[in-house]
Amino acid sequence: MILITSEDTKKGFMKVIDIIQRAKNPLVSYEIIPPKRGGTIQQIFELIEPLQKYSPPFIDVTSHAAEVQFEELANGVVKRTVKRKRPGTLGLCAAIKSKFGIETVPHLLCEGFTREETEDALIELNYLGIQNVLALRGDHHGFLKPLASNRSRNTYAADLVHQITAMNRGEYLEEMLDAAKTDFCIGVAGYPEKHFEAPNMQRDIQYLKLKVEAGADYIVTQMFFENRHFFAFVDACRTAGITVPIIPGLKVLTSKAHLKSLPKSFYLELPEPLVMEVEAASKEQIPEIGMRWTTRQAEELLSNGYNVHFYIMQQAKHIVPVVDALHKMA
């Protein structure tokens, strides 16, 4: 197994697909989440600083639509508000790229945003020199923004990919003469254990193929804890004619609460040996168990020539030992 070296990232590549195709060694990338409203960008800088020594080829930054929140007031009245708890994705991407020289991949959502808002976001990203996006449908959060008569909405991720590729051809929502073409690299999501809304894996692969046919350049998978699911998923994709790069997504399990929250939130299977070991461990021992499990997963994937994408979200302390161990194994 060989991990990417710092020299491999100093080529001036900007688009993720170029980075993937030209890298001499497997890549290790990361995904983070913006601070909650009222947080500071310093929180993100402190998160990324310990990752710098591994020369990340790119970092994904998640996006979050408005959500409904309920608050009980002193008089017993329940107040309903709608707001985005984690705004700032585009600004964070620009700041990370400027400060660290690391390519960033902002997530764009269908859910909670109009096509007109998406076009504005893409124009801003283009001005900022950010050429990578991850196109997602997004999760339902109990609030569907009312759609004005002069606005439209992307229903599925494939629709969003179509909108982005149209802009890459110089086609905007409003017809304009001599409109500038954008040059976005588009990533999409894949589900090794099937998206929970798909009736079966075969149909889910067909939905994924629609996203690729619409113009997606690569696929990043949902997290999984059994590599056999990923290998079977890749085989199914290739059989279906999907040829773009597929990047496996991994996460470190760090608490007993994850035994319930991860399957519930992400519709995934936790292996019985991992569950048994975590259930028998103390609170202090669990992160070490999770890091050891993720290290084994990553080592096998990297040894088979796959890149790896780590979902670290708000802190790097559990992923740094994993990547350190992978470098020592190289």
Q: What is the DSSP string of 98-150?
A: HHH--EEEEEEESTT--HHHHHHHHHHHHHHT--EEEEE-----S------TT
Nearest CA among 242, 240, 316, 233 for reference residue 268: 233
pLDDT score, position 244: 98
200: burial class by Cβ within 10 Å (0-12, 13-18, 19+)? exposed
Domains in the chain, ordered, with CATH?
Answer: 6-329 (3.20.20.220)
Residue range 220-260, pLDDT digits in tens: 999 999 999 999 999 999 999 999 999 999 999 999 999 99
Cα angle value 128/130/135 (rounded, 5°):
130
pLDDT score, position 195: 95
pLDDT score, position 87: 85
What are the tokens at 39?
């947080």
What are the tokens at 86?
């984690």
Give me the phi and psi of 212, to 5 degrees please: -70, -45
11-18: average pLDDT:
78
Give me the phi and psi of 30, to 5 degrees please: -140, 160
Residue range 175-231, pLDDT digits in tens: 888 899 999 999 999 999 999 999 999 999 999 999 999 999 999 999 999 999 999
User: CA 272 to CA 286: how far, in whole Å?
Assistant: 15
What are the tokens at 290?
């999770």
Mean pLDDT of the chain: 90
Instruction: Decide which of 84 and 322 is more confident.
Output: 322
The residues that bridge with 106 in the sheet, in sequence order, are 61
Contact 170, 161 (CB under 8 A): no
The residues that bridge with 71 in the sheet, in sequence order, are 79
User: CA 103 to CA 132: how far, in whole Å?
Assistant: 8
Contact 155, 110 (CB under 8 A): yes
pLDDT surpassing 80 at residue 84: no
Contact 289, 267 (CB under 8 A): no
User: CA 16 to CA 4: how far, in whole Å?
Assistant: 14
321 residue type, one letter: P
Contacts of 281 (CB under 8 A, 6+ apart): 289
Is the pTM higher than 0.85? yes
Instruction: Decide which of 312 and 84 is more confident.
Output: 312
Residue range 289-299, pLDDT digits in tens: 999 999 999 99
User: CA 16 to CA 201: how far, in whole Å?
Assistant: 27
54-66: average pLDDT:
89
